[in-house]
Structure 1
Amino acid sequence: MPASSSSALGLRLETARAAARLSRRQLAEQSGISASMIQKIGEGERHPSDQVLEALARALGVMPEALLDGPSRTDSRVHQTIPDVQRAIAAYDFPDDGPVRPSPQLGADVDLAVEDRVQSQYARLGEQMPALLGELFRAVHQARGRERERAAHLLALALRSADAVAYKYGYHDLSARLVELMRWAAGIAADPALEAVSAYVRMETFFAAGQLGPGLRSLRDAVDRMPTPTTERLAAAAAALHMRAAVVAGRMRQADDARTHLRDAEGLARRVRERLYDGTAVGPDSLEIHRLSVAVELGEETDLQAAVAASARWAPPRELPAERRSHYYIDLGRAQVQLGRPQHAAESLLVARQIAPQHVREHGQVRTELATMVRMTRGRDERVLALARWAKAV
C-alpha cells in the first residue's frame, strides 16, 4: 500500500476520531485495537488489515469505506444527469438529425447556462445540458462559414458549463473529455481568446491528475501563443491565464514564478472592466481574489497574515458571480486554518455557504479544510462539526 494512501487513511481516521470525541485510549477500548496500533495508523505508519479497519469503523460509527476511500458523494440529483451528458457527447461528430433553432435563441440558452455555472446552480445546469449540447452539435454539423464559427463558439461555452458539473462532482474522466471537446470547438471557432479560455479550463485536467508541472507549462504555452492583447477581450483572456498560472505556481511553492504571473495579470486586469469574458470573471476584483489564493497556496505566514488583515478592509462586491465570491471566502478560511484560527475559518465558510451552497458542498478543498478544523477543535466545536457533516467531510 503506497505511503500516501496510508497517510490519507490516517488523516481520515484522526478526523473521525475527533468527530466522535474519542481519545486514542477510548477508541482502543471500544474497538479492541491497541492504542499504539491506532497511533501508527493515524500517523500513516501502518495500514490496517480488513479486520482492524472494520473494528475501528464500528467503534467510530462509520462505514469502513469512509475511512478507506473518504466520505461518500453528497446526495444530489446532479448525479442522475451524468449518463445523459455522456450520451449527448458520444456522437458529437455524427449527431442525430433534429431541429436547430436560430443562433440568437441558442445564444440566449447558452447565456443562461453560463449564468447558472457562475452562480453555482449545478443541479439545474446538469438537467439542461444534454438537450442543449445535442442541439449545438447539430448546429455545428449543419452550418457553414461564419455561422459555423458562431455555433462552435456557443458550443465551447456550453461544454465549459457541462464540464463545471462533471469536474465539481468528481467525474474527472468525463470532465477531461468535455475539455477536449471544448478545445475542438474553439479550434473551429478560430478565436484566439476562446482558445486561451480553453487552455485555462484544461488546467482542471492537470489538477485532477496531480500533474501541476505539465499544467503550468501548458498555461505558459497558451500565453506565448496568444496574439498581442490589443482588445479588451484578448487582454482579459491573457489576464485569466496569468491568474491561473500564479495559483498553480503557488501550489508548487514556486514563489518567484507565482508573483511574476500575478504582476503580469495585474498589468492586464487593470486594463479591463470587471465582468465575464467568455464565461470567466476578469478584472480588478477578480485579481484581488487571486492574490489571496496565491498567498494560501504559497503558505508563507507573512503573506497569510497580510491577506487575512486585508479581508477586514475589502470584500468581493456583490456584483461578482457567486462562485467567485464564495471561492474568496473558501480561501480566506484556508488562510485562517493555516494561521491556527479554526473558529474564524468556520465563519468564512458559513459566508461562502450562504453565497453558493452547491459550490461549497462539492469543493474538495472545503472538505480537506473542514476535516483539518475538526481535528484542530477535537470535535468540540459544534459549528465546525455541523459544517463538516453537511459537506460530508466526516
Structure 2
Amino acid sequence: MINFKPKIPAMLGALAVLTAGAAHAELLEYTFKAPDGTQRSLTPNANYANPTGNISFALSAGIDRKVKISVLRSDGTVVSTATSHLLGATDRITVGGKSYYGAELQLPAPVGGAYTIRAEILASDGSTVQTDEYPLTVDVTPPTYSSLAPVYSNYGQVTSGDVWKLGLGGSEDNAFLLSGISDESPIKGVKAKLYRQDGSLYKDVSVNYDDANGQARQSFQSGFFPASDLDEVFTLQFEISDSAGNSYLSPRQKVMFDSITNAPSAPFGVYDPSSTNNLGPGLTGFVAYTEGMTVKTNPIKLAWRVPRDNWHEYREGGINMTNALGEMSKVGEDASYVYLVTTAPYGNTDGNYWRWVNFGQWGGGGIAYNLTLSPSAPKSPRLLGVDYCSGLIIPDTILGGTVTTLT
C-alpha cells in the first residue's frame, strides 16, 4: 500500500504568501471630532476637513506588511507620522460595513493650513512597497459675512431696528441679500431658515450663492413667507457652510410681513344729487351701491367703507387709497368702519392713478364698479385714435453738412 501525505497546508501557506504579496495599501477613511463636537468620517479625497484633537486613519494592507501614515507640510517637511506593527491574520478593521486586513493609526490634528497625507505600505524590513498621497486643507474657522439686509425695501418698509417690517414692494424682486461672505475653504452652501411666531420651522431652503461676489440672495416676493397681514413676528436666520464642514448661523432677526390687502371689492355707495339719504357718517346724498345701477354725475362720486382695523391710521398693516384722478378723502368713521369719498371720470379705473395701497407695497388692490352712466350726465373724454410719425435718424457726417432748421 502506498500512503500519500496531504499537501493542503503547504498549498494554503503558499496562497497566503501570494495573497500578502499582492495586497495593496489603501487609506479607507479618516475620522475625527469637529469643533462643534460631532464625530465625522471622511473619504481620502475629501480635500477639506475641520479636525480637532486626534485624527484616526483607517488603512488596509496585506498580512506581513506594515502601514504608515504621515502628515506633511507644503514644503515636504513632516508634521507627524505613525507606523503600525507587522500585520497578522487577526489584524482586521471594519470600514463601511466591510472587513479589511489593516490598522487604525492616530495623529494629532494639525493647525489650519494646506497639507499632504501620505499613506505607505512597508515590507517587514521597513522598506516602502507603495505610497499614496492625498491633499488636505485643514480649516476649523466658520465662514463669515459682512451684512444682511433687504433690498428694494421701498414704500414705507422698515429695515432697521429689532423688527423688520416688510411688504411686497413694487415691480422689483424684493429679497434678502447676504453680502461679504468669505472663508478659507470654498463655500459649500447657504440656507435660509424662517421660523413662525410659535417657534416652528416654516422654511429651510437653499439660497443661490454668487461665489464671484461673495453674496447670497433669497427672494421673499412670493413663496417664502406664509400669507400674513403684518400680524405675526417671524424669525429669520441664514446658515453658511464651507467645504471643510464648518457652518455659521447668523443672529436671529425678527421680521414681520404684509401680503394681505383685504380691500373692498366694490363701492359702498354712489352719490345721487337728488337724494337726501344718509348712508353713513359724512355720506349724506349717497345711496347704497348695487351692480348695474345708474350714476347721475360725471365725474362719478363714490363712497367706500373700510373696517377700522384695516385702515392704516389705526393699524400699521392696514390699507390706504391713492387717487390721482380726483378727490379722495376720509369723511367720517364710527366704531367699526372708516368712510371714504372719491371722485373720478366715469369709466377710468386705471390702477396707475387710482388704487388701494397696502403696507410696504406700491399697490394692493384695484378699483372696480359696475355702473351705467345716465344720459343726462356729461360723457367722459375718450381716445379716438393715435397717429405715429417716425423716420430715420441720419447723422450730419452722412449728410455732408449740418442741419440747423427743419420746416
Q: TM-score, normalised by structure 1?
A: 0.20
Higher relative contact order (CA 8 A, sep 6+): 1
TM-score between both structures, scaled by the size of structure 2: 0.19
Structure ranking higher in helix proportion: 1
Structure with larger Rg: 2
